[in-house]
Amino acid sequence: MMSIAKRRLKTKNLIWLVLLPVLFSMGCSKAKTLPMDYAAYGRTDIFRVGNRAYEKCVYNESTVAKYAELVGEASEALSGETKVYSLIIPTAYGIILPEEAKKLVPDYIDTHECISSIYAAMPQSVNKIAVWNRLVEHSDEFIYFRTDHHWTARGAYLGYEAFCEAKGIDPIPLRDHSTVGYEGFLGSFYSESGGDEKLLPSETVEAFYPVSEGVTLTVTDENGVTEDRPMVADVSALPASAKYMTFAGGNNPFSVITNTEVTDGSVLIVVKESFGNPMLAFLCGHYSTVYVIDYRYWDGNLIDFAKEVYADDLLFANSFCAVNTGSNVGFLAMIIKNFE
């Protein structure tokens, strides 16, 4: 028979075999709940999680309702002449902000639901471009900058793919585009942070050239000066904060991209703010002419212009934050003039 001492030892070992996994699990759980490296900057809508900054998104119901109304008005005015597309671009806040960080953001909103609501308010004549799931699927890739509020050219390519899907055409593979990188980029978030060292190191702005060799870009700036510029500008000598200007001549009221290798006379108008700039190198591969309008600076009549140039397609490409900004929507309203 087993002695009392041996029975006690065996019982003690069994207890430890049961308790060790439990204690280990408790230790792992405790490790996962350690305080997050979170910091809010001077403006309450800019904050950092780890080495990445974000801009808090808000949902202004009256502002987005007006945006949806304006896009719908354009679609109705151009019915039977021009197909109208709407791409509302999610920011990193909605796509890659960690779940645990959302609890730290005051009044956090689900931007996916918000974008769906804006699309639902647009008439059926507007072709709504769904890019959310595509971005989520690639969220572990370099599709948003850490130090800036924009998406990268790779993120913009996913937006271009979504446009092609909505239009029913095949996208040109990303691998077919030549690329260049400009190091040392420290964007708007870094500036807003006052130079937070935790956002370092700097980033590389990657730009893709159009596949077609016969692409030219002519821009008209805010002073009315018209000049030719490269689709991808060499920004290596520009300040760290300015390297996003590599894309399609930067922000200008009006630009014209011509592709002599597309000979069908097709015309696209892109109405955008700065989020639309990296998409243009991809979009121009499908049209003879792409007219680019930055509605924040242009003062023409969009409906009349679309009819004048016999536009096949009209794409509104704006970030979620932009369509929630009253001044931006006000500028858009000024170019979508009343029609009969």
Instruction: Judge whether residue 87 has pLDDT over 50.
Output: yes
Give the integer Cα–Cα distance in Å for 268 and 163. Answer: 12
- Cα 233–Cα 91–Cα 186 angle in degrees, nearest 5: 45
Reported as a pLDDT band with limits 50, 70 and 90, residue 11 is very low
Reduced to 3 states, what is the DSSP secondary structure of residue 223?
A: coil
Local structure of residue 253 (DSSP, 8 states): S
Instruction: Judge whether residue 33 has pLDDT over 70.
Output: no
Give the integer Cα–Cα distance in Å for 63 and 4. Answer: 80
Of 142, 143, 233, 146, residue with least CA distance to 188 = 146
Instruction: Judge whether residue 22 has pLDDT over 50.
Output: no
Residues 6+ apart with CB under 8 A from 288: 258, 259, 262, 263, 264, 265, 266, 267
Instruction: Judge whether residue 282 has pLDDT over 80.
Output: yes
285-304: pLDDT as tens digits:
999 999 999 999 999 999 99
- pLDDT of 32 reads 39
Give the integer Cα–Cα distance in Å for 136 and 94. Answer: 9
Mean pLDDT of the chain, nearest integer: 90
Reduced to 3 states, what is the DSSP secondary structure of residue 246?
A: helix
Reported as a pLDDT band with limits 50, 70 and 90, residue 59 is very high
Average of per-residue pLDDT across 79-99: 97
- pLDDT of 313 reads 98
- pLDDT of 337 reads 76
CA 57, distance to chain mean position in Å, is 13
- pLDDT of 320 reads 98
Whole-prediction pTM: 0.88
Burial string for 174-183 (b: 16+ CB within 10 Å, else e) reads: eeebeeeebe
Q: Rounded to 5 degrees, what are φ and ψ at 318?
A: -140, 145
Instruction: Judge whether residue 6 has pLDDT over 60.
Output: no
Instruction: Calculate what percentage of the chain has a pLDDT beyond 90.
Output: 84
Give the integer Cα–Cα distance in Å for 79 and 89. Answer: 24
CA diameter of the chain:
103
Instruction: Judge whether residue 7 has pLDDT over 60.
Output: no
Reduced to 3 states, what is the DSSP secondary structure of residue 119?
A: helix
- pLDDT of 42 reads 72
- pLDDT of 21 reads 38
310-336: pLDDT as tens digits:
999 999 999 999 999 999 999 999 999
Burial of 323 (0-12, 13-18, 19+ CB in 10 A): buried
Strand (E) positions, the chain? 38-40, 46-49, 52-55, 83-89, 126-128, 179-185, 203-208, 215-220, 226-229, 254-259, 267-272, 289-294, 313-319
**β-bridge pairing 179-185 and 126-128:** unpaired
